[in-house]
Amino acid sequence: MLPRDFRDFVDTYGYGSLDDILSLFPPGKRGQEIPDPAMTALSSVAEGELRTFQGTVRVPPWPAEGALLSWGTTPVGYDLFWCRRGSDPDLWPVVVVGCRSGTALELPCTMAEFVVRMLGDPIDRPAYIPGIAGHPHSRYLNARDEAALDDAGEDPWEYLDDVWDAREDERASSAFITWVEGPGRHRADNPPVPRLTVQGFGLDGDELRVSATLDLVLGDPVTGTVRIGGPNGDVLRLAGVPVAVSGGAGDHFALDIRLPEAMNDTDMTWHELLGAMSHEPEWRLSVSVEDPAIGAARARHGIVTGVGMHESGVNRAWGEWP
């Protein structure tokens, strides 16, 4: 028996894809052609190992307790599973495995909750999976309808090009500003627990000021790393930068980073760098902080790591803009 929300979803919409990014298929059929419309028999998920921050964990084959059962995938390096924990399928947690980053994130939500939250504000999404436009722009197509559009010579996902182009045009045509409002997103190779989010950056007198939030209290003192990248790679990388931490709204703590002009060893002024970051899509800014509390929070949320994420990164949280 499979979770009820998944069965209801398939009965209503069929197997298919959300924005050509998040694909749903018969459980256990990862990487195979999507049959439609009937649910097929379950196949096993191969036994394997995952390295946790505390040691190695064995993933048993289906249908043993703790086994992973696949129900979705993406073309951007993420696979979606349930963890068979307990006899009630409606209580099986969703597990997002980053194939490229080597990380896995267990989420205390159902498949339907996961999809709904992925359609919402990027800041509130339970996992970073790039390419999902979100409400009201996203679209779900079952495999049969997508194939029919392809056969008719129509691109089922052409509308997404208009969405992304409009967003880039709005950004490129904006006048120069002294402060860029976030929020940013999470790095693809870093779990979103705890959640570090760049909220904004800009000029404050002769300083470049970066504002971020972290949903975890850190020890004192706190230092961070700030990186600015352009079309050809990193332009600036500053490590050991002092970070001022203050209480924020709810469980969010405000991180305030100030970079004086003396720290700018590029051939551009802060003013010029801000202009490039606010108008050119190839530019990006990232912030990271390190603290043992970050690794402890991840362990509590069931985050595991494979060889793609070094153990030295367990205590480090990243945020990136845009």
Between vectors from CA 120 to CA 302 and to CA 181, what angle results, nearest 5°?
A: 100
pLDDT > 90 in the chain, percent: 35
Do 50 and 8 form a contact (C-beta atoms < 8 A)?
A: no
Residue 287: band (very low, low, confident or very high) from pLDDT cuts 50, 70, 90: very high
Q: Is the pLDDT of residue 308 over 60?
A: no
- Residue 146 is predicted with a pLDDT of 92
Taking only the tens place, the pLDDT of each residue in 73-122 is 998 888 899 988 999 999 999 988 877 666 788 888 999 999 999 998 87
Do 29 and 116 form a contact (C-beta atoms < 8 A)?
A: no
Place of tokens 């696979």: 79
- Give this prediction's pTM: 0.76
pLDDT > 70 in the chain, percent: 83
Distance CA 185, CA 163 (A): 18
Region 277-298: mean pLDDT is: 88
- Residue 34 is predicted with a pLDDT of 37
Q: Which of 14-18, 98-102, 223-227, 304-308 shows the lowest mean pLDDT across its residues?
A: 304-308
